[in-house]
Every structure is written in C-alpha cells, then in structure tokens.
C-alpha cells in the first residue's frame, strides 16, 4: 500500500484571515501590514482592470498602513481580539513544545524494545495528526468537535500509559478503561476526562454551550464560538502537558535528562508546560473579569 502524500495540509493554527471586498484570504499569522497592502493592491488592480499595481497603490492605498495601525490599536480592547490573540499565543507554544517531543520520538529505534513499548511508540506517533487536527478546529471555532478529539487523545495517552508496563499484546485492555490507572500518575486526568465527557455528550449541565434563546424568543444552535474555542485551547494545553509527562515516563530508558517528571512516580512541578498553563489561565481570567 502506498502511503505517500501527494497533498499536504495547511496548519490553520498558524494562519489568519484577511478580507478583500468580501473575499476571505488565508495568510500566515505573522503576515505584515505591508505584505497585506501589496496583496490587496494586486487583487484590486485585477478587479478594476488596471495594468499598474503602482498606480493602484498610489491611488487607493496611500494611507493603508497608517489606517491599519489605527484600526489595530482600536481593536485591542475588543473581547474577540483578546481571545484570538490568546489562542494564537497558546497554539504557538503548543506547536513549538510538541515538535520538540516529536523530533525525539522520530529518532527512537523500537526494534529491540518490548511489544508494549513499540506499540506505545505507534500511539504517540499517531497523536501527531490529532494535535494538528485540534489546532485547525480551534482556529476555526469548532469547539464541540475539539472536545471530542481532545477526549479521544486523553484515552489514547491513558492507553499508552497503561500498556507500557505489560509484556505483550494479549494483556492490553480497552483504552476507555485505562483512565483510572493514569490517575495515579497524573491525578487531574480523571476529573478532566469527566469534564470532557460531559461536554462531548452534551450533558444537561452543558446545554448553554450549545443552545440559546435569542431576543425574539427563538431557539438557536451554537455551531462555532471563539470564546469556547479559547477554552478548548486551554484544554489542549492540559493534553500537551499530559503528553509530555507520559512521554518521559514511558520512554524513560531512552531519555538522559527529564524535563517534565522528577522520577517514575513524581511530576516536575516547575515543568514548562505547567508554568505556561498557569500564565495563560491568569490571562484568560483577566479577560473574563
């Protein structure tokens, strides 16, 4: 079977959308105002049938950068801008941290390892696409779908933790039954799994996240939400922290120096993922005061 990819997906976690005459254009998140000016000038030239981009720049975009800087300054107090900025900060940290772990994983040779450790390697490699998919969903505001995916990722990590001490494939149990064993190592995993389950199954306590009554008294379904996506981005940080801690626990024999755990039973309280999580959580609380 040929598994080569002829197409490569875009990491929407590193993009933003700019608009030109009602047309959305996806660009890198660090796309500058100057770059935006030239791109829009080129598109405007085509639209108006002009032959000179320079003429379009002089005629329609003379004060573009100044006006954009004013608009940017005015938008800083907007709640949606604050959510979006915090999401970008989270996704940037998540990707940088995760890619460091992934590079380590791809260097490991599992040929001489036990069946269970080799299988753990497969699980952690498979999680690469799950993290990528989560980033894309968060960036596009699909919070409900993100809950489901993060819950699935938690089950996979719990499964890897559980089987890492087994001798062979026959001893493996269902991933959904592995959360209880993970709690001994990562205490918050049990409560976190319960919260994700209540959101994924639309428990009655979570109805307001998916349904509301508008000013006309009519029921409306929430399909996308920047605020709730902000919350799922914070959840993704928890999964990242869990991933890194369990990674070092499982592959401890391949690691010369721990960053996320102290030993096989103790987490490093000063690990970068935990510190960053608390910094982000405080920023999130400040936004929602």
Structure-derived torsion over alpha carbons of residues 144, 147, 152, 154, reported in degrees to the nearest 10: 180
Q: What confidence score (pLDDT) does residue 75 get?
A: 74
Q: What confidence score (pLDDT) does residue 217 get?
A: 84
How far is 268 from 255, CA to CA, in rounded Å?
15
Domain ranges of the chain: 12-75, 81-287
Q: Are 138 and 232 in contact (CB under 8 A)?
A: yes
Nearest alpha carbon to residue 237 among 137, 83, 91, 103: 91
| Phi-psi map region of 33: left, alpha, beta (phi>0 left; psi -120 to 50 alpha) | alpha
Q: Are strands 219-221 and 211-213 parallel, antiparallel or unpaired?
A: antiparallel
Q: What confidence score (pLDDT) does residue 100 get?
A: 93
Q: What confidence score (pLDDT) does residue 127 get?
A: 95
Q: What confidence score (pLDDT) does residue 204 get?
A: 76
Q: Are 239 and 150 in contact (CB under 8 A)?
A: yes
| Phi-psi map region of 21: left, alpha, beta (phi>0 left; psi -120 to 50 alpha) | left
The model's pTM is 0.84
Neighbours of 91 (CB within 10 A): 23
Please, what are the averages of pLDDT over each run of 10 residues along the chain (289 residues)? Answer: 52 83 87 92 86 88 88 80 91 94 88 86 93 93 94 95 79 81 93 92 79 83 88 96 96 91 92 96 88
């Amino acid at each position: 079977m040929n598994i080569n990819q002829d197409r490569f997906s875009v990491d929407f976690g590193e993009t933003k959308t700019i608009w030109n005459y009602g047309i959305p254009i996806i660009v890198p998140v660090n796309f500058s105002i100057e770059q935006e000016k030239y791109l829009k000038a080129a598109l405007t030239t085509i639209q108006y049938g002009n032959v000179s981009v320079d003429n379009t720049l002089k005629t329609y975009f003379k004060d573009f950068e100044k006006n954009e800087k004013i608009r940017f300054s005015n938008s800083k107090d907007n709640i949606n801008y604050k959510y979006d900025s915090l999401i970008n900060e989270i996704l940037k940290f998540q990707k940088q941290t995760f890619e460091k772990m992934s590079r380590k994983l791809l260097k490991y040779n599992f040929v001489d390892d036990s069946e269970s450790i080799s299988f753990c390697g497969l699980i952690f490699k498979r999680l690469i696409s799950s993290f990528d998919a989560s980033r894309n969903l968060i960036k596009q505001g699909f919070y409900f779908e993100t809950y489901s995916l993060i819950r699935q990722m938690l089950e996979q990590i719990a499964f890897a933790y559980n089987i890492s001490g087994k001798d062979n494939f026959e001893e493996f149990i269902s991933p959904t039954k592995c959360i209880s064993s993970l709690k001994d190592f990562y205490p918050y995993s049990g409560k976190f799994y319960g919260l994700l389950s209540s959101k994924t199954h639309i428990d009655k306590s979570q109805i307001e996240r998916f349904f509301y009554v508008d000013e006309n008294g009519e029921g409306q379904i929430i399909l996308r939400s920047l605020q709730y996506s902000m919350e799922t981005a914070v959840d993704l940080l928890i999964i990242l922290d869990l991933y890194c801690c369990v990674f070092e626990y499982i592959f401890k024999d391949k690691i010369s120096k721990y960053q996320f755990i102290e030993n096989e039973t103790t987490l490093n309280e000063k690990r970068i993922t935990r510190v960053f999580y608390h910094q982000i959580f405080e920023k999130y609380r400040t936004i929602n005061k």
